[in-house]
Amino acid sequence: MSSANLTLFFIVEPPNYTVMACYLAASIRQQFDEPIKLIGYCPAHRRDEVDPKVIGVLEKMGVEVRTFEAEGKFDPEYPHGNKLLACLQERDTPYAGFVDSDVLFLKKNKIENIVTPDKVSLTPAASMYWADRSLWPTIYGALEMDIPEERIFLLRQKGRPKIPYFSSGFFTFPDEPLPHTGKRFAETWMDVAQQIDRIDGLEKKRPYLDQMSLPVAIKKAGIDYHLMPEEQHWILGGVLRNTPFPKDRGIYTVHYRKWEILAENELAGFAKQMLHDQVGVKKIRQFEL
């Protein structure tokens, strides 16, 4: 795949997702030799709160900071919905990928490892302990869709394989209108999410609406998915909290959630070094405008 065909994007929102976004961007620039377009999206009503040094650091790494309207898009408010709104924004590459801001790329990677032509590339969710078995019949039934026949193993959940349920923390997708619907995948995802949000009595729509709607949207869009190896999206914390980081696994990408978890796994210093390699400082406050 041509490197000109991919945009990776993420959220740049104060207070938590501005500094993290800088370290994420540095890790992408460090670990992909192919030139990838990078966009940081900030809710329009929060743009004035972003530290100018954050903007300066991102711009030095070739990250375009854009805004989108977030207010009034979900009722009740739904901060996780920012990723759906970011996905909806127009871009000029045929493929795009959303990356949670609390993600780091750790070793040299290639676009072909994270993008699959005509498919959504992603990993199974870590677990689904928060929901009971009635979730999927309720959702698929409300949308007048059949429950998928295929089953997958979740990353941290034992037992039988499950109805497909994916992490929305890092995934890539075709970003042009699809033959089956004539819509971009992001449009179908938002449509599906809004329909699910209107299902009376369905619990846990906050904060899980994005992930409960993602597999439904893939099926609705008429495309297939490709499961990336876990090493391409290794989720730290959870049941793995306080266990040694598996250095022998050849892990490309970690989803760390909180900086202290990154530090516990002895990766915080590496994150700072990647930022230094890209912009000359290890901390955002050290950057000179």
pLDDT band at 220 (very low <50, low <70, confident <90, very high): very high
Enter the DSSP assignment of 230. G
Q: Which two tokens stand for residue 100?
A: 């949670």
pLDDT at 93 over 50: yes
pLDDT at 3 over 80: no
Encode pLDDT of 156-214 as tens digits. 988 899 999 999 999 999 999 999 999 999 999 999 999 999 999 999 999 999 999 99
Task: Find all residues with CB under 8 Å of 97, minimum gap 6, and list them.
Answer: 6, 7, 8, 9, 114, 115, 121, 170, 171, 172, 173
Whether the upstream peptide bond of residue 35 has omega within 30° of 0, thus cis, is: no
Encode pLDDT of 96-107 as tens digits. 999 999 999 999
Quick check: 220 and 143 in contact, CB under 8 A? yes
Enter the DSSP assignment of 227. E
Which domains, ranges and CATH numbers included, belong to the chain?
A: 3-282 (3.90.550.10)
Point out which residues pair with 234 in neighbouring strands: 254
Question: Of 91, 81, 93, 95, which is closest to residue 13 (Cα–Cα)?
Answer: 81
Q: Looking at the whole model, is its pTM more than 0.85? A: yes
Task: Please provide the DSSP assignment of 3-56 as one string.
Answer: GGGEEEEEE--TTTTTHHHHHHHHHHHHHB-S--EEEEEEEGGGGGGS-HHHHH
Encode pLDDT of 104-145 as tens digits. 999 999 999 999 999 999 999 999 999 988 999 999 999 999
Encode pLDDT of 32-50 as tens digits. 999 899 999 999 999 999 9
Question: Of 271, 253, 286, 256, which is closest to residue 57 (Cα–Cα)?
Answer: 286
- Tokens 């979740």 sit on residue: 154
Q: Which two tokens stand for residue 257?
A: 């959630």
Give the C-alpha separation, 119 to 213, whole Å: 17
Question: Of 42, 32, 41, which is closest to residue 6 (Cα–Cα)?
Answer: 32
Give the C-alpha separation, 12 to 58, whole Å: 10
User: Percentage of the chain with pLDDT > 90?
Assistant: 93
Q: Which two tokens stand for residue 142?
A: 């409300």
pLDDT at 2 over 70: no
pLDDT of 167: 98
pLDDT at 265 over 80: yes
pLDDT of 1: 40
Give the C-alpha separation, 113 to 249, whole Å: 16
Q: Which two tokens stand for residue 275?
A: 């930022």
**Helices 135-142, 205-221: crossing angle, 10 deg rounding:** 50
pLDDT of 4: 64
User: Percentage of the chain with pLDDT > 70?
Assistant: 99
> Which string of b and e fits 2-38 if b means at least 16 CB within 10 Å?
eeebbbbbbbbbbeebbbbbbbbbbbbbbbbeeebbb
pLDDT at 215 over 60: yes
Quick check: 216 and 209 in contact, CB under 8 A? no
